[in-house]
Structure 1
Amino acid sequence: MRALVVDPGAEGRFADVPEPVPGPGQALVEVHRTSINFSELRHMGRLPEGTVLGYDAAGVVLRAAADGTGPAEGTRVAAFGAGAWAERAAFDTGSIAAVPDGVDLAVAAAVPMSGLSALRSLRAAGASPGSRVLVTGASGSVGRLAVQLARLAGAHVIASVSTPERARTLPPSVTAPPVEVAAGRDGVAPVDVVIEVVGGETLVAAWGLLKPGGNLQSVGWASGRPAVFPPGSTFSLGPARSLNSFGDVTSPGPDLTFLLDLVATGRLSVEIGHRESWERLKQAAAAQLDRTITGKIVLDIAPADHAPS
C-alpha cells in the first residue's frame, strides 16, 4: 500500500510499505481523511527514515478487532495513533471512536490530536465554572478548541493572540461571549489556569499572570524560542503555582467520542482552513509552517468519490 514516510530533509515522501497486520485488540481502518499538525512537521526528522507519518485519521473499519472489542466492520471512525498517513492503518480499539451521523470525515480527521490536547490539558489544569482561563496561541488549532471547551466548562476565557490581525481570524464560534480576546498580554488580569502552546517569551509572560495556586499546562512550543525566566520569577507568596508539561495520549477513544459528540450536537466547532489531496503534501506543509492558513489542514487520502465523507 502507499504511505507517506519520513524522508530526511523533506516533508515526507510516498513509499510502498507492507500492509499493516493488526494485533488482537486492533482494528484495520481504511483511511479516507487525515490532518496535519504543526508538531508533526517540525519534529518528523527525529523519526527513523521510512517511518509512516501522521497521527490523525478518519475512515472506515475494514476488519474489526479479533478480540471482539471496538467498532464493527463498515463503521465510520476517527482514530489517533501512529501511521495515519497511509491508505490503511491498524489502530488499538481504545484509540478509535465511531463518527456520529452527520459529521463529515474531513471534520472528524481534524479532531484527534488538537482536540485531545485541548480537552485533557484543561482537565489536568482544573478548569472549572467561574475560573479564569488564559489560552495562548488562540488562533491555532489547539487554541481554538481549548477556548471553546473552557467556555463550555463555565470558565471565563481569555483568548490570547499575538497581533490584532490574528484576532480578526478568530471565528464567532471562538469569540462568542463571555470570551475575552487579547492581542498580547498587556492588560490581562491574573488567571487561574493557562493553556500555553507558544513557548518562549509567551510562556514566561503567561507564568507571570498565574494566580497563587494556579496551574500552567505547557502543551506546545510553536515559537521555537527559548523561555528565559528572570531571577526570582518562580517565587510567590501563598499557595504554590505549578507548571506542568503535557502530552497524555493514553486510551484516547472515550475522549475522542466525547469530542465528536460535541461536534455532532453543534457545541464544538472545528474549522478546516484548507483541504487538499495528500499528493500535494509539500504545498500543504509549507502553508502550515508559514502559518498562512488558519484552521486545520485536512488531506484526502481516498478520492472524494471513493466513499461518502
Structure 2
Amino acid sequence: MRALVVEHGEAGPVRFADVDEPEPSSDEALVEIRHIGLNFGELNYLHLWQSGAVHGHDAAGVVVRAAADGSGPPEGTRVALGMSSHAWAERVAVSPASLGIVPEGVDLADGAALGIAGVTALRVLRKRSLLARDVLITGASGGVGHFAVQLAALAGARVTALVGSPDRAAGLRELGADRVLTDLAGTEYSFDFVLDTVAGPLLAQAWHRLAEGGTIHLVGYSSGQDTTFPSGALFGFGESRSITTYGDMTPTSEDLTDLLGLVAAGRLSVPVGLRGSWLDVDDAVQALFARKVHGKIVLDVV
C-alpha cells in the first residue's frame, strides 16, 4: 500500500513510498483512510522521526475490520483519528483510544482536521473556568487558534484574537472573537488566561499583559524565536501568575467525540483553509510553511 513517509533529504519533509500492510493486534481496528490532516509541528520537527517511517497523526476514514477483542467501533463506522501514529497511509491499525466516531451529517473530511489542533485547544481551555474571563488567543488564524477562539467563546469568555497581520484576521469575529489585534504593544487590555502558539518576543509581551492570578499556557512556538524576559519581569506582588507547558498525548477518543458532537450540533466550525489531493502534498506543505493557509489543511487519499 502507499503511504507518506519521513524524508530527511532535500526531497522532504515527506515522500510517497510503498509500505507493508498493517497487521492489527487484537485490540486494534483496521481503518481505511480517506482524508489526512496536516499540522505545522509534525512537519517542522522531523528530527524526532526516523527516515522512512510512515508519518502523520490526524486522519479520518472507515473501519474495515473491528478490533478482534470486541473493543472499539464495528466495521463500517466512520471515524476520526487524533494524535495517532503513522496515520498518513491507505490503511492504518489503530487503538480505539485514538478514535472518535463521526456522526451522520458531519463531513468525514472535517474529522481529519480535528485531532491535534482541536484536542489541544479543548484540553487547554478546560484547565479553568472561562466564564466572564478575558482570554487571549495568539496565532488565532492557525488551526489551534481557530478552534480555541470558538471554544473560549462557547465557554463564556471575552475573547481577544491576536494575528500577525490584518489579512489574517478574516472571519475571527464571526467565530466568536470580541477583539482582533495584530500587536500587543500599547494595548491597555489585561488577560486572565492566554493560549499561546507563537512564543518568542510575543510571549514576553503577553506576560506583561497577564492579570493577577492569570496563566499562560504554551502550546507551540511557531515564531521559532527565543523569549527573553527583562530583569525583574518575573517578580511581582499580588496573586501569583504562571506559565504552563503543554504536551498531553493521552488517549483522545473522548475529546474527539466531544468535538465531533459540537460540530454535529452546529456549535463548532471546522476551519479547513485548504482542501486537495494527497498527491499534491508538496504544494500543501509549502503553503503551510509560507503561512498562506488560514486554518487547517485536509488532503483526500486517492
TM-score by length of 2: 0.95
Which amino acid counterpart does residue 146 of structure 1 have in structure 2?
Answer: A
Q: Does 1:179 align with 2:178?
A: yes
Query: What CA distance in whole angstroms lies between the structure 1 residues aligned with 2:174 and 2:67?
Result: 37
User: How far has the Cα of 1:45 moved from its partner?
Assistant: 3.4
Show the counterpart of 2:211: 211
Show the counterpart of 1:170: 171
Show the counterpart of 1:307: none
Query: What CA distance in whole angstroms lies between the structure 1 residues aligned with 2:102 and 2:265?
Result: 12
Show the counterpart of 1:20: 22
User: How far has the Cα of 1:249 moved from its partner?
Assistant: 2.1
* Count of matched residue positions in the alignment of Structure 1 and Structure 2: 298
Which amino acid counterpart does residue 69 of structure 1 have in structure 2?
Answer: S
Which aligned pairs between 1:222-237 and structure 2 lie closer than 5 A? Answer: 222-237=222-237
Show the counterpart of 1:90: 93
Query: What CA distance in whole angstroms lies between the structure 2 residues aligned with 1:89 and 1:179?
Result: 41
Does the 8 Å contact 2:172/2:180 carry over to 1?
no
Q: Does 1:74 align with 2:76?
A: yes
Q: Deviations over 1:201-226 (max 9, x none)?
A: 11111111111211110001111111
Does the 8 Å contact 2:141/2:172 carry over to 1?
no
Out of 143, 151, 154, the residue aligned to residue 152 of structure 1 is 154
Show the counterpart of 1:294: 294
Query: What CA distance in whole angstroms lies between the structure 2 residues aligned with 1:26 and 1:239?
Result: 47
Q: Deviations over 1:26-66 (max 9, x none)?
A: 11110000111011111123311111111001000011112
Query: What CA distance in whole angstroms lies between the structure 2 residues aligned with 1:207 and 1:200?
Result: 12
Which aligned pairs between 1:124-139 and structure 2 lie closer than 5 A? Answer: 124=127, 126-139=128-141
Query: What CA distance in whole angstroms lies between the structure 1 residues aligned with 2:38 and 2:21?
Result: 22
Which amino acid counterpart does residue 180 of structure 1 have in structure 2?
Answer: R
Query: What CA distance in whole angstroms lies between the structure 1 residues aligned with 2:188 and 2:29?
Result: 47
Does the 8 Å contact 1:127/1:193 carry over to 2?
no
SS at match of 2:281: helix
SS at match of 1:243: strand
Query: What CA distance in whole angstroms lies between the structure 2 residues aligned with 1:128 and 1:166?
Result: 25
Does the 8 Å contact 1:6/1:45 carry over to 2?
no
RMSD: 1.3
Does the 8 Å contact 1:135/1:147 carry over to 2?
yes
User: How far has the Cα of 1:170 moved from its partner?
Assistant: 2.8
SS at match of 1:62: strand
- After superposition, the Cα gap between the structure-2 partners of 1:12 and 1:286, relative to the gap in structure 1 and judged at 3 Å, is same
Query: What CA distance in whole angstroms lies between the structure 2 residues aligned with 1:147 and 1:171?
Result: 8
- Where in structure 1 are there 5+ consecutive unaligned residues? 304-309
Which amino acid counterpart does residue 90 of structure 2 have in structure 1?
Answer: E
Query: What CA distance in whole angstroms lies between the structure 2 residues aligned with 1:91 and 1:212?
Result: 44
Show the counterpart of 2:105: 102
User: How far has the Cα of 1:164 moved from its partner?
Assistant: 2.0
Query: What CA distance in whole angstroms lies between the structure 2 residues aligned with 1:64 and 1:100?
Result: 18
Out of 24, 27, 31, the residue aligned to residue 29 of structure 1 is 31
Show the counterpart of 1:306: none
Which aligned pairs between 1:184-263 and structure 2 lie closer than 5 A? Answer: 184-185=183-184, 186-263=186-263
Which amino acid counterpart does residue 264 of structure 1 have in structure 2?
Answer: A
TM-score by length of 1: 0.93
Does the 8 Å contact 1:55/1:113 carry over to 2?
yes
Q: Deviations over 1:178-230 (max 9, x none)?
A: 62212211324111100000010111111111112111100011111111111
Query: What CA distance in whole angstroms lies between the structure 2 residues aligned with 1:152 and 1:114?
Result: 17
Q: Deviations over 1:123-165 (max 9, x none)?
A: 12x1421111110011111011101000101111111112222
Runs of 4 or more consecutive aligned structure 1 residues displaced over 4 Å after TM superposition:
none
**Alignment identity in percent?**
48
